[in-house]
Amino acid sequence: MSSALFESRIDSLPRIHRGKVRDIYAVGDSHMLIVTSDRLSAFDVILPQPIPGKGAVLQALTEFWMQRFASLLPNQMAPQMRLEDRLTPDEIAQCSGRAVIVRKLKAIPVECVARGYLIGSGWKDYKASGKVCGIALPAGLQIADQLPEPIFTPADKAPVGSHDENIDFAEVTRRLGSELANQLRDVTLQIYKEASEYARARGIIIADTKFEFGLDENGKLHLIDEVLTPDSSRFWPASTYRPGISPPSFDKQIVRDYLETLDWNKTAPGPQLPADIIERTGATYREAQRLLTTT
């Protein structure tokens, strides 16, 4: 895949946000166009080169999972809104396979993280306190150990360029009220458990993942943003998994490992990536999509 989209340019709609990966445009007062670019961020810095095809993988996987869990809770998709009715032919060509029109919902300002394995910031918290987000875990666990049960470990959403901060469930309850906090925890863990079983049968361990939710005008919960992609989850090959080491993953770990070899202070601007790192990363994303969506 040689073509890549670093930044979309949709002149027929007002742009309202540019994130690490997604460009968002207003479609009237009640809908938005989300364009998933091929940008890649590492250590919260957007790197100067895109990964060709990455955005299409993220969009396809998000739509796949949203459809799979549509009977559990509604999502932001607006299938009646066609790109062809809103964009110029040049803009449609630019967005092909990576853009979707969604309902504009009130985003809940908490990232809902489910963890089934001890890794990342959860491992750091555990080493320091024996807990993750206030949840006590058994003593003696190793890095990448499977937890006795998946746990809900929310995070405070940070702006672009900053790190999300783990918070405990009591803080979520304080901010959102007990009813909504309980609903977020329960649906996060339910989706995670069902997705994990599905993925494991296809050779992928979902170590952890984060979801985002929004509310409509009636206060009904919806699944929004991206869902169970290599950018929002840790996907490990089941065939090579073993506790005690940090497993390889179907994501941008190839890029992170390369950047760790450089004399770079992890602030913008990010360094250039070699062609083989770009190609290997793109192949990893595509392999995750193939394993999860091929019947």
pLDDT in tens, 206-264: 999 999 999 999 999 999 999 999 999 999 999 999 999 999 999 888 999 999 999 99
- Rounded CA-CA distance 210/119 in Å is 14
Residue at 210 is within a domain: yes
Q: What angle do CA 93, 98, 101 make, to 5 degrees?
A: 95
Q: How confident is the model at residue 1 (pLDDT cuts 50, 70, 90)?
A: very low
Number of domains within the chain: 1
Q: Give the pLDDT confidence score for residue 160 in this predicted structure.
A: 52
Task: Report if residue 212 sits inside a domain.
Answer: yes
| Percent of the chain clearing pLDDT 70 (strictly above) | 97
Q: How far apart are CA 94 and CA 256, in angstroms?
A: 28
pLDDT recorded at residue 286? 96
Tokens 């959102």 locate to 176
Does the pLDDT at position 162 exceed 60?
no
Does a structural domain hold residue 223? yes
Question: Where is average pLDDT lowest: 88-102, 120-134, 161-175?
Answer: 161-175
Is 204 within the bounds of a domain? yes
**Domain of 135?**
107-240
Q: What is the mean pLDDT of residues 3-18?
A: 95
Average pLDDT over residues 27-36: 97
* Domain-embedded: residue 101: no
- pLDDT value at 43 more than 50: yes
Residue 155 located in a structural domain: yes
| Any domain includes 287 | no
Provide the pLDDT for residue 54.
97
Q: What is the CATH number of the domain that holds 236?
A: 3.30.470.20
Is residue 111 situated within a structural domain? yes
Count CB neighbours of 239 within 10 A.
8
